């Protein structure tokens, strides 16, 4: 068995996230299977389980990939030394709107969250 470098592992993880994004976008959360994600990525389910615990963990990582840069920018303006909170809010809004216009990952994940996620009650046997 060949050991991967950290860079190769990160590349595989991002490839899985890209494939998951495509499958979740096409099929929705409930109808997406890890098998479909693995097939779209050209990898095995074992590769998915190496990087993620389950479908929920994969989905959360996909969302984190677009959410974290915005959260970091928002957090950078917190604290007593921020003498221009409105200017910082303006910077966050411009960043978000620019990302929404240019970042395909953000657009897809937003579409998935707003249009492709169905509530499935885990207690419902149907």
Q: Report the CATH number that the domain containing residue 59 is assigned in CATH.
A: 1.10.357.10
- Per-residue model confidence as pLDDT tens digits over 46-63: 999 999 999 999 999 999
Lowest-confidence pick of 42-46, 77-81, 121-125: 121-125
User: Per the domain annotation, does 110 fall within a domain?
Assistant: yes
In a domain, residue 121? The reply is no
pLDDT at position 88 is 85
Residue 56 contacts residue 62 (beta carbons within 8 Å): no
Is residue 122 situated within a structural domain? Answer: no
Answer whether residue 62 is part of any domain.
yes
Residue 1 lies in a domain: no
**Number of domains comprising the chain:** 1
Q: Is 50 exceeded by the pLDDT of residue 126?
A: no
Residue 75: pLDDT above 60? Answer: yes
Instruction: Give residue 16's domain range.
Output: 6-116
Give mean pLDDT, residues 85-95: 88
Higher-confidence residue of 55 and 76: namely 55
3-state secondary structure of 31: coil
Predicted confidence (pLDDT) at residue 93 exceeds the cutoff of 80: yes
The answer to whether residue 30 is domain-embedded is yes
Is 15 part of a structural domain of the chain? yes
Helical H segments across 1-126, by residue range? 6-27, 34-41, 45-51, 55-75, 85-102, 104-111
Residue 125 has pLDDT above 70, yes or no: no
pLDDT for 79 beyond 90: no
Residue 126 lies in a domain: no
Q: How far apart are CA 106 and CA 100, in angstroms?
A: 6
């Amino acid at each position: 068995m060949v050991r991967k470098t950290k860079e190769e592992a990160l590349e595989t993880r991002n490839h899985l996230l890209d494939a998951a994004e495509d499958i979740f976008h096409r099929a929705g959360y409930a109808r997406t299977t890890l098998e479909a994600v693995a097939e779209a990525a050209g990898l095995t389910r074992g590769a998915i389980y190496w990087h993620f615990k389950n479908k929920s963990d994969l989905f959360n990582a996909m969302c984190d990939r677009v959410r974290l840069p915005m959260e970091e920018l928002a957090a950078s303006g917190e604290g007593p030394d921020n003498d221009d909170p409105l200017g910082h809010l303006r910077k966050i809004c411009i960043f978000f709107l620019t990302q929404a216009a240019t970042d395909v990952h953000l657009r897809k994940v937003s579409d998935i969250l707003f249009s492709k996620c169905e509530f499935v009650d885990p207690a419902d046997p149907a």
